[in-house]
Structure 1
Amino acid sequence: MTFFYHNQSPRTYSMVYLLLFFLACLNFYTETLADVPYAVAYCDFPPSPFRAVVGRVTFTQYQDATTLVTGQCNTGFNDSDPSHYRWTISLYYDLTPFVDYSVNSPGTSAFQARVDDLPLTGEESVVGTRMRVFYNDQVIGRCDITRIG
């Protein structure tokens, strides 16, 4: 069984192939839309005589409402056991279970985690709040989360 009649022009075949190509591209575009950044924010731990941690954490929220948290700290981590440290945002959101890193004294390895329910937009946004790093319940680093753009 043939799809086309034998007397159809080559132009008809070209249009059908072009339409199929367009549909395939559209399908690919919608599948990858979830990985397009929706909002980006960062948090710099600045050098301070009162806080030991120096580093940066970046937050990238995607269309599927997940947020990619990436970062690295250069100083402030002198104990090689990561379980002695805790990462929080505004004291109500504990990032510690999501952040997988190793301590390379005096800093950390690079880390990355994809997290649900950490919005960078809307009323529940964490932008403008404070991120803290604790060592045995003592604050050793703190920074404000700032939106880019």
Structure 2
Amino acid sequence: MEVLANTNSTTPPGSTAATHALECYHCSSETIGSEQFCGRTFQKDSIPETLDKYNLSVVRSCTSTSEHLIPTCRKTVEEKNGNTITKRFCFYTNKSDSIFCNEPHDGSRVFCQDCFTDKCNSAPHLFAQQLGFIFIPLLVAKVTLI
């Protein structure tokens, strides 16, 4: 299965314009209790109130102490043993990388998205949107040629 990689940014990688730590959602749908809110679509309203009671949060501040690494928010979707697992977390990528989501993995990943704005890894799976961007221009081009 082909891995879909998508990068979304309003702040260019390596930019020093940000003055605060990047905030990313941090959860896995395979963690007991997280499956209600950390699926392919992030359900913020389904986060248990008990997390606040125990001073727990699904938001992490992501900072890098290295001038060569930039923090990104990452969302991955994996297929393992017939189960779909969605993970959201902070990831640190090398500033010289021009392609994100390109590190080695075990082949179970079917989707990966890096983004650079606060809590941007809550986005739903973008596969359908990506297909629309591919097929609509092709249909327009075909109609224009006829």
Q: TM-score category by the smaller chain?
A: under 0.3
Which structure has the greater CA radius of gyration? 1
TM-score by length of 2: 0.24
TM-score by length of 1: 0.24
Which protein has greater RCO, CA pairs closer than 8 Å, 6+ apart?
Answer: 2
Q: Which has more strand, going by share of residues?
A: 1
